[in-house]
Amino acid sequence: MGKIKRVGVLTSGGDAPGMNAAIRGVTRTAIYYGLEVIGIRHGYHGMIHDHFVSLKAHSVSDILARGGTILKTARSKEFMEPEGRKQAYENLKKAGVDAVVVIGGDGSLTGARVFCDEYYDIPFIGIPGTIDNDIYGTEYTIGYDTALNTVVEAVDKIRDTAGSHNRLFFIEVMGRDAGFIALKSGIACGAEAILIPEVHGQVDNLKDYLEKGFKRKKSSNIIIVAEGDEEGGAFAIADRVKDDFHDYDVRVSVLGHIQRGGTPSAYDRVSASKLGYAAIEALMDDQKSVMVGFHNSELDYIPFRKVIKLKKKVDPEELQMVEILSI
């Protein structure tokens, strides 16, 4: 691999609190090594449509504490097509960008992998950025901690009103394909049950639980539902339950995009800074087609190949623990 002189950085897919800290980490580490930095705005869409801006050390001042992403983000359908990737490659060449750091989720890293299989001479390094924490090969993804804290704060508030009225609440949290936010926030909030896409047939168990008459013992029941649950989300499940349990005063709350915003937690800022730094270190070490992540709390490099192919699993013991703790 020739010497890298100019590195591009982009954010892609759903934004996540801490992405700015990662952009700052990438930019300042790259400048430390004497590289020029090009910010690619609007993710892969910007790569295809030439949305390139020069980033200096001061361009990333005062962004560490800000949610969202200063580079903007997008989900690009064009990049899924060979013509789109060809245009992106030509634009990178024209701009003299000889390496790229992609900050994003599963789809974004899949895009990086496909691009690198077609064009070998521009190395890509991935940084896991999604509130969902659903990327194989890393125990943490940027934004997850802040999103979890947002959910916990909201659910605690709902618990107050649920308890005052003896109500059964279904609270829907984000996670189109994964239940990590639901599971961990459910544990943190003492949810009575947690429904996630990874586990099937949970509604029947839920009915058992309600039939056992826990309502008599508990002043509130909080059921956390991941949006990607097989039953179609909190409203659908609430409808099914309402038909069978008229005694329950049921309410639904969908937390929605509030989970993606807000100032990043200290944990997200530190971890995202480390990942940004490590991505440039990886390029300096001639690595390519790898994602920087955390394994046993240490920085680690995982080949795109594995990241894309394998699915991160929820811990079944944690689900069992929720059952035990919610009696």
The catalytic site residues sit at 132
Quick note: the x/- pattern for ligand F6P over 222-241, rule CB under 6 A, is -----x--------------
With contacts defined by CB under 6 A, name the span among 38-46, 92-100, 129-137, 301-309 that binds ligand F6P.
Answer: 129-137
For ligand F6P, the closer of residues 29 and 141 by Cβ is 141
Quick note: the x/- pattern for ligand F6P over 21-40, rule CB under 6 A, is --------------------
Buried b (16+ CB within 10 A) or exposed e, 69-95: bbbbbbbbebbeeeebbebbbebbeeb
The amino acid sitting at 50 is: D
Query: Given candidates 51, 159, 167, 260, which one binds ligand F6P under the rule CB under 6 A?
Result: 260
130 binds ligand F6P (CB under 6 A): yes
For ligand F6P, the closer of residues 4 and 135 by Cβ is 135
**Beta-strand relationship, 6-11 and 290-295:** unpaired
Neighbour count for residue 199 (Cβ, 10 Å): 17
Is the alpha carbon torsion for 185, 190, 195, 196 positive or negative? positive
Question: First vs last Cα of the chain: how many Å apart?
Answer: 59
Q: How far is the CB of 145 from ligand F6P (least distance, A)?
A: 15
175 binds ligand F6P (CB under 6 A): yes
Query: What backbone phi and psi angles, to 5 degrees, belong to 134?
Result: -110, 30
132 binds ligand F6P (CB under 6 A): yes
For ligand F6P, the closer of residues 101 and 131 by Cβ is 131
Pick from 296, 11, 314: nearest CA to 134: 314
Residues that bind ligand F6P (CB under 6 A): 13-14, 105, 130-132, 174-176, 227, 260
